[in-house]
Structure 1
Amino acid sequence: MNKHERLKQLVQKYKHAWVFLYGFIYMPWFLWLEHHVTTDYHVIHSALDDKIPFLEVFIVPYLLWFVFIAAVVLYFFFTDVPGFYRLCTMLFTGMTIFLIISTLFPNGLALRPAVFEQDNIFVRLVQFVYRADTSTNVFPSIHVYNSLAACVAISHSEAFKKHKALTVGSYILAASIILATMFLKQHSVIDVSGAFVMAYAVYQFVYAPSARKVPKLSRQPV
């Protein structure tokens, strides 16, 4: 088999990679929002936010979000094409809704601490994140939404059901990431709640229809 044939087989095998073109829609739109939503926006705040302490150690799971989402997406990309399509449908639907909300309803936070009581590696990482990421365009939280979407995909995967420890570990990491968004003052309780509501709504269209078919199939005579 020559190089041309191998390349053709590779393209055919991974033709579903076209889905990643969504990045050319999401990133320019998001960056535009980051540069234009800077002063005139609705401040999101809940009384519960003031009761949640700032815990810099949660920067670890917060940053692990990038690895977690990439790992889950790539796992399904290489091993489960139908699962990959469903996961990306849920991810990209929610991310698009987030962009539309941020465009029509500019929003931001005023929760970040002005002064840090300690100076350690965790605080320095938090300061780096604060510099790199503005406190605007926060509702609903994409950190939370994408974590939930990844958990949904994992829970519907037959392969993951054979690896209980990995599945439970994924859920624990996702829970830690969700808590991190609030403990680091990156998101309000309202942002987190909005992400849960959006995940539930999108789930009804992406995963629930196929899930409802399973009991019906199981009742069919053999």
Structure 2
Amino acid sequence: MNRSSFKPLMVAVILFSILLLFPAQWLLPLINDKLVERESVGLDPNMFQGYLVQQKMLDDPAYLPVYGSSELARLDPFHPSNYFHVNPQGFTPFLVGRGGTEALLHFLNFSAHADQLKGKRIVFVISPQWFVPEGSDESHFAPNFSVLQGYQFALNPKVNHPLVTEGSKRLLAFNVVKSDWMLSSLLEANVYHDKWHQTKAMVIKPFAYGFL
């Protein structure tokens, strides 16, 4: 009679733990210059919902980050990529955003790269259609929301405290955020300072760092 072996299960658990705890920063050397150049005009949501490509770009003074939304997909003579190709100014525009990428989403992105953006020249295109009484809605927010940047915001000790409180309150208004029990618990601890919310967040934090 063959004995059951737990070795495959143990190996699977170990490999899963390694992948879960593997620091994303270790992957940065895999982001080469050609990839950054290609992504500068790609408007790929995987790029601006992620972290490493933007980090590599922000470390390179040859790029000027341009943050916006649907206007970045409208190709005309005054589009940043076209204009500065014809009128070179010593930098390459790097476009971040697409339709529906409104101010709150850029706020999360900025907070994720706060150290690199400090003192850096950027362009932030503010669209009039963002400014409506009800603010960003679920249909525009959810497809562009970055879970990674949500966790980075919730766990970032360097973000100004009033911004953390107000930003957390606003994020908790969206179903895509509330449906993530771990993330919503961390954000609630930024808003409510009672013992229950603080204790729950303290227990969750070691596991939440696995998302970074």
Give the TM-score normalised by structure 2: 0.27
The structure with the largest helix share of the pair is 1
TM-score (norm 1): 0.26
